[in-house]
Structure 1
């Protein structure tokens, strides 16, 4: 049975310079009781033997101002050794006590030791939040590439830099809140830079996105899922990510581009251009801001809602202008039958029956960073049969005839991919073409439904702002 004692000691020396320690006469009163002012309190504790049966050196620690403080350490030692009655566990705990005292000058926390004993972890192993997130991510099986990429982005971009260094078992609510405080600060920096008249400052945030409430909820969901796994493995007792309050992550309400809203948006855009194009003073000199790029004006002009919907007249106007484009059938199919970009790019002729007037949505192409991936729709409801109207059937038939002509022209260089919508050499389209793509229109939210200023071709019907040309 491990025992412990307390005693007093001081740093007084004899005339010869020898330390008196516990033999100093000033430590005790005349009656033999400990003196209240001289010296400090110490404790001595016998730990269980080593694994080979040899006796350990007793623990001696001091510097305590009261006997109660020294006895509290003995109580904690008894609590630690009483966590498990298994002899091997007691030896492991004794090893941990000795190592922690030597390295950190403190006793281990009983709750942490108890949790590790219960879950079979190494007592001297310390795992950080960053290490646990990587371990959790590596253990997720069967995830789609897009989902896996989202998790990895949440971890490496937002979670790891702020809380990755914190011990998993010491993660607190304030630590998680710091993640979203950092996101708010970054959002404010991006907004200020975009509104600045300094071209260099605007260039620094080019391509940067403001992290919205919905994305914040997804970041928290990633952390919460990883901490739930830690709770299931009994590494944690509480999921602190669940205690964070965030702005509502509900999807914004879609609004229709009525003529009044189009007019207000145009006026706001013109006001923005006028405000940014005037001369301003820099270091005592008058400097002209110069011409504002149309896309900068478009991005910086707020819309009535983040999600704007075309009217039938606007959709018709776009399709009229897109009629000369070689992918008009794709635009028509999306506009009239509601296919998603990835579903339209992944449509195969084997799933098209023009005689019956149906198509079967069985595949989609998703963009994963700089590469694409073919796969099934994400849900069972996404795999569906779509009925075609006669006009859409006519457009698809004309598109197939045009594609056959391109196959003849390409000859041996034709790639027989089987996709309905392809590039002139038969290769498939990306749902989000890169800037180096042979086609210069972009399928990006926010691109205007007007002719491309580079190649003169119409942009696709996935835009969400009115034609301002």
Structure 2
């Protein structure tokens, strides 16, 4: 097939505006004008001709290099492969129309041999939709992926071609998210200030009522309170995109995953703190928690369990507080996996919340499948709970829903994990104790075990962690008295001479003081005898 390079002048007649072409007086100069290329392509299926045309080359060498590149692409398919020849021709025709760079020869060869599209027409949005539809994971995980894609990934990246996605595009997306956070915080602050000011306006009086009405209208016109996209959510968004692009790489649609190389601020998980007397006193004054994750002392945990002793779900609070089950694991615990004679339960399922819907699923991780040993007191509590549940079953008769679960509603149906959290918060508020989250009962159970000297590996297995490092990092916030004992034990191992001399001097001073008292008492007794 024919191909050629040629030089073209783009000068125009200043009066008519028409191209001068060969009549341009500067055409004789080699430096005037630019070079163009033209390469004949295989005809269309209907026999019509087509060609690759491109202009704007500064030098003949650059024009000839692209012409050679095009010929190398055309030579990829064998002469007896009309389908391959047609695909290459269509690719070059599209590249010419889009004015996009010529594709790499070896990459084009690989794509053609593996049956992939030669031109990456697939957009990020199209691939994310395809990837999400192929996921075979639990519903709550799919919902999380869908939210990340719908709220963040599609609006920022959806229109970009998948094979042209770069790290800079992702950096721009996360910068835009940070900028949106700043705007949301400012709008929330303005609305909060307006609401606080409205609360100070009296209800009575025509003037006050008019002012309140105007202020309410102004507040309604403001953007509603919104949550910002925190560091943990940004990490999750990147994780979703990274997983989707990894699958695209596995299918050889792309060769580079930019999500694996974008840098984000690290997520700093809050450390658990114990509700000491000083922290409780400050909370009573300010109403502020020292940390998002707070743990009750053993005395506070006991006070709570005493407070909820008559609650219908007392056994659940007891089990979570002492054995550290997750909320979903407690809601999904089966009687068939609860062996009270052998003092053990086996965690094999959980109830998870997807939006407001509930579904049964496997434990959170493989390590979540685990036996949990029970103490005598917990076994007794569960036996009492079983008696109560049997009485409820008799009362409901044919209306009883036989789910086989340990903790249920009055009719035997599933408990809603979200409602369990709400119920716990109400019970904590009525107890007068400093606030903790339901999940913090699990933190407390872990801390109790560690404070009691239980080996960290056993604690990790009881909690269902895959690694003891997770247990150490999250839960080892021991109580102050235990930490002090550890500090004293460690300090006692160091033979400091200054400390020994100080202790010896203190003993000597104490001995001299005692001897002085004895002598004084003897003198007093001698005077009494003389008298």
Q: Give the TM-score, by structure 2 length.
A: 0.67
Aligned to 2:193: 197
1:8 partnered with 2:4 = no
> In structure 2, what is the Cα distance between the partners aligned to 1:168 and 1:423?
49
1:133 partnered with 2:128 = yes
> In structure 2, what is the Cα distance between the partners aligned to 1:452 and 1:425?
28
Say whether the 8 Å CA contact 2:9–2:27 is kept in structure 1: no
How many residues were matched structurally? 412
* Deviation sequence 1:407-435 (CA, Å, 0-9, x none): 233233222222221111221101112xx
> In structure 2, what is the Cα distance between the partners aligned to 1:420 and 1:182?
48
> In structure 1, what is the Cα distance between the partners aligned to 2:312 and 2:279?
32
1:441 partnered with 2:459 = no
Say whether the 8 Å CA contact 1:119–1:235 is kept in structure 2: no
Structure with more helix by fraction: 2
Of the three residues 237, 253, 257, the one matched with 2:255 is 237
Of the three residues 54, 78, 103, the one matched with 2:71 is 78
Say whether the 8 Å CA contact 2:275–2:294 is kept in structure 1: yes
* Deviation sequence 1:375-408 (CA, Å, 0-9, x none): 2223343222222222222222222222222223
Say whether the 8 Å CA contact 2:34–2:55 is kept in structure 1: yes
Q: How does 1:410-429 map to 2 (within 5 A)?
A: 410-429=396-415
The 3-state SS of whatever aligns with 2:42 is coil
Say whether the 8 Å CA contact 2:329–2:350 is kept in structure 1: yes
Say whether the 8 Å CA contact 2:2–2:40 is kept in structure 1: yes
> In structure 1, what is the Cα distance between the partners aligned to 2:27 and 2:183?
66
1:450 partnered with 2:436 = no
Aligned to 2:323: 337
**1:25–1:388 distance in 2 versus 1, CA, 3 Å:** closer
* Deviation sequence 1:216-272 (CA, Å, 0-9, x none): 222212211222222233332322112211122353322222222233334333xxx
For residue 332 of structure 1, report the CA deviation from its aligned partner.
0.9
Say whether the 8 Å CA contact 2:272–2:295 is kept in structure 1: yes
Structure 1 runs not aligned, ≥5 long: 270-300, 434-438
1:164 partnered with 2:158 = yes
Aligned to 2:296: 310
**1:310–1:194 distance in 2 versus 1, CA, 3 Å:** farther
Of the three residues 245, 254, 263, the one matched with 2:281 is 263
> In structure 1, what is the Cα distance between the partners aligned to 2:157 and 2:424?
36
> In structure 2, what is the Cα distance between the partners aligned to 1:119 and 1:170?
20
The 3-state SS of whatever aligns with 1:47 is strand
For residue 162 of structure 1, report the CA deviation from its aligned partner.
0.9
Say whether the 8 Å CA contact 1:256–1:310 is kept in structure 2: yes
The 3-state SS of whatever aligns with 1:374 is strand
Say whether the 8 Å CA contact 2:131–2:244 is kept in structure 1: yes
* Deviation sequence 1:332-369 (CA, Å, 0-9, x none): 11111211111111122222233333222222111122
> In structure 2, what is the Cα distance between the partners aligned to 1:426 and 1:410?
9
Q: Give the TM-score, by structure 1 length.
A: 0.75
Q: How does 1:49-198 map to 2 (within 5 A)?
A: 49-50=42-43, 54=47, 56-62=49-55, 67=60, 70-71=63-64, 73-82=66-75, 84=77, 87-88=81-82, 89-102=84-97, 104-105=98-99, 108-110=102-104, 113=108, 116-117=111-112, 119-124=114-119, 126-141=121-136, 143-195=137-189, 196-198=192-194
Aligned to 1:283: none
Aligned to 2:264: 246
